[in-house]
Chains A and B, each alone.
Chain A
Amino acid sequence: MENIIIEVKELNTYFDESHILKDVYLDIPRNAVTSLIGPSGCGKSTFLRTLNRMNDVIPTFKKEGTIFLDGKEIYDPDVDVVDLRKRVGMVFQKPNPFPKSIFENVAYGLRVHGNNDKNDLERRVEASLKEAALWDEVKDKLDDSAMGLSGGQQQRLCIARTIAVEPEVILMDEPCSALDPISTTKIEDLIHKLKNEFTIIIVTHNMQQATRVSKYTAFFLHGEIVEKGLTDKIFIEPEDKRTEDYITGRFG
């Protein structure tokens, strides 16, 4: 078995009385891309947001079971959620840059973690923008508002912002669903480039995207994982009839 970074065991989550995730077991291999697929409302996004504790802000959220990051339960009382989110970054469905300059968007995460050294910030912002394949497009207008960028550029900026704080895991919640095909290709190329350095977990509705970017796939249905394993295996010869129906487009 490969090197596992995140280990999820017997995970159940609830919002009020509604049972969202049911007995989820999933191992996420380090420095690889794992896709989460499944129809809307199947719990993929809830699962993703449980991994960096973004659901904590919802008062009715409740979680049972364990999630280990490098062997450490992330919901333990002694875990600082700020440190956790520094290690587990997130890119959202809708590009959501701050209404600040391009530079400040990338520098933001570094600043809130106490880095205020101007030279160091400049160096890291440049490195992150280069890594996110955005540097050449924005290097002459770093002080312009990020809101003036195109949707695809904004999303790459959000990725740059996330990798600037040097996380180990990047969660991506349908990062291309609001983008045009060309921007989507750029993001997918970027994912390929980033997977050597980061563990990436991506929620997607696009089957082709899952096959293009990910090595592993987990198929969610009604809050349960129906099938998981190597992407090639799942898409070529799925074991479960429901998986086959879904990936061939018979429902969802």
Chain B
Amino acid sequence: MARNWEEFLVEKVLLLAAISSIIIILLIIGFVIQQGLPAMEQVGPLNFIFGMDWSPSYNIYGVFPMIVGSLGMMTLALIFAVPLSIFGAIFLAEVAPKTMRRILKPTIETLAGIPSVVYGFFGLIVLVPFMRIHFGGSGFSMLTASIILTVMVLPTILSISEDALRSIPLEYKEASLALGATHWQTIKNVIFPAALPGIVTGIILGMGRAIGETMAVIMVAGNTPIIPGSILEPARALTSNIALEMGYALGLHYNALFATGIVLLMMIIVLLVITNYINYKRKVTVGGGYL
């Protein structure tokens, strides 16, 4: 009898732990929507999302420049980080000698643990002057932010891709080599395609990190709420918009920042749905369920 109680209790505790995270997320989303919706209604959702002008002093709220800023920085960062991390992961998983791997992998994973303000500070002191000297302008730009973001998402994508590559059964590799394929052909045609779902998961997580990053971006992006004319001009991300103005915002302005949060949430959801859909679609089309 006592044993049954124990079972029951353990099950319930586990259930509680599992649903608590969901409840917390729902509470946060609910709160953001509740606080942001009034601003959306007052400004008009379309005006808010596609408005080109963000001037709180004149009660004009349009976040489109920030949407462009966020997406631009994320895209640029992924363009740099994805090839770099995939090639790095292939090197670590397939080419690097054991001892080298044992040193490199933890080192790269440590990069993921460095607080973002440290990256931002590094960017501010080292990268911004570098960009100013070599590319002109103020040095604060979308490109500068993307480079910092690249370094920040690299360990995430690389580490997960490497795990995915290493989890491919040795049998596939042996089968390919035994047919006379070279090591590179084996990587390209067998190991990489089989690991692709895991690699895509890594890219999705990296993408989430890039679009959600606030501190480091604020410190190097310049933060002007205007659509940048080129990647060398300053830009503002949605996250930066909230963090920069939360301290002094009142009334409609305050609600508009929460509405910015709604837009950010929606964007992340859309991106997740798209990437998951691509991954799912690909799995189905390449022959019966697998790969």
- On A, residues with C-beta under 8 Å from B are 52, 54, 57, 82-86, 89-90, 92, 94, 96-101, 104, 108-109, 111-113, 143-148, 158, 161-162, 165
Q: Which residue of A lies closest to B188 (CB)?
A: A112
- Given A89-B179, A165-B179, are A96 and B171 neighbors across the interface (CB < 8 Å)? yes
Q: List 26 interface pairs A-B (beta carbons < 8 Å), by A numbering.
A: A52-B178, A84-B180, A85-B178, A86-B180, A89-B178, A92-B175, A96-B169, A96-B171, A96-B175, A98-B175, A98-B190, A99-B194, A109-B180, A112-B180, A112-B182, A112-B185, A113-B180, A145-B286, A145-B287, A145-B288, A145-B289, A147-B289, A148-B288, A161-B175, A162-B178, A165-B179
- Cα–Cα, bound, A92→B179 (Å): 12
Q: How far is the CB of A149 from chain B (nearest CB, A)?
A: 10
Within 68-96 of B, Cβ neighbours of A (below 8 Å) are at: none
Q: Which residue of B lies closest to A95 (CB)?
A: B171
Within 175-191 of B, Cβ neighbours of A (below 8 Å) are at: 175-182, 185, 189-190
Within 249-285 of B, Cβ neighbours of A (below 8 Å) are at: none
- Cα–Cα, bound, A117→B180 (Å): 19
Report B-chain residues with C-beta under 8 Å of the C-beta of A112.
176, 179-182, 185, 189
Given A96-B169, A104-B287, A112-B189, output 4 extra A-B contacts at Cβ < 8 Å.
Answer: A92-B175, A96-B172, A111-B189, A145-B286
- Cα–Cα, bound, A85→B286 (Å): 28
Report A-chain residues with C-beta under 8 Å of the C-beta of B135.
none
Contact A82 B180 (CB under 8 A): yes
Asked if B215 lies at the interface with its beta carbon under 8 angstroms from chain A, I say no
Report A-chain residues with C-beta under 8 Å of the C-beta of B291.
99-100, 145
Asked if B174 lies at the interface with its beta carbon under 8 angstroms from chain A, I say yes
The winner among A89, A96, A99, A147 for most chain B CB atoms within 10 A is A99
- On B, residues with C-beta under 8 Å from A are 169, 171-172, 174-182, 185, 189-190, 193-194, 286-291
Q: Which residue of A lies closest to B194 (CB)?
A: A99
Q: Which residue of B lies closest to A146 (CB)?
A: B287
Contact B171 A94 (CB under 8 A): yes
Q: How far is the CB of B92 from chain A (nearest CB, A)?
A: 17
Q: How far is the CB of B291 from chain A (nearest CB, A)?
A: 4
Contact B180 A96 (CB under 8 A): no
Contact B177 A57 (CB under 8 A): yes
Report B-chain residues with C-beta under 8 Å of the C-beta of A111.
189
Contact B177 A54 (CB under 8 A): yes
- Cα–Cα, bound, A98→B194 (Å): 9
Report A-chain residues with C-beta under 8 Å of the C-beta of B180.
82-86, 109, 112-113, 165
Contact B194 A54 (CB under 8 A): no
Q: Which residue of A lies closest to B179 (CB)?
A: A109
Contact A100 B287 (CB under 8 A): yes
Report B-chain residues with C-beta under 8 Å of the C-beta of A108.
176, 179, 181, 189
Report A-chain residues with C-beta under 8 Å of the C-beta of B179.
85-86, 89, 108-109, 112, 161-162, 165
- Cα–Cα, bound, A251→B175 (Å): 32
- Cα–Cα, bound, A94→B193 (Å): 21
Q: How far is the CB of A161 from chain B (nearest CB, A)?
A: 7
Of the candidates A86, A92, A147, A161, the one whose C-beta lies within 8 Å of that of B174 is A92
- Cα–Cα, bound, A83→B181 (Å): 9
- Cα–Cα, bound, A147→B172 (Å): 12
Contact B286 A100 (CB under 8 A): yes
- Cα–Cα, bound, A146→B171 (Å): 15
Of the candidates B169, B176, B288, the one whose C-beta lies within 8 Å of that of A144 is B288
Report B-chain residues with C-beta under 8 Å of the C-beta of A101.
286-288
- Cα–Cα, bound, A98→B182 (Å): 16
Contact B287 A85 (CB under 8 A): no
Contact B287 A144 (CB under 8 A): yes
Contact B287 A109 (CB under 8 A): no
Q: Which residue of B lies closest to A148 (CB)?
A: B288
- Given A83-B180, A165-B180, are A99 and B175 neighbors across the interface (CB < 8 Å)? no
Q: Which residue of A lies closest to B182 (CB)?
A: A82
Of the candidates A52, A86, A98, A143, the one whose C-beta lies within 8 Å of that of B176 is A98
Q: How far is the CB of B46 from chain A (nearest CB, A)?
A: 46
Report B-chain residues with C-beta under 8 Å of the C-beta of A94.
171
Q: How far is the CB of B41 from chain A (nearest CB, A)?
A: 51
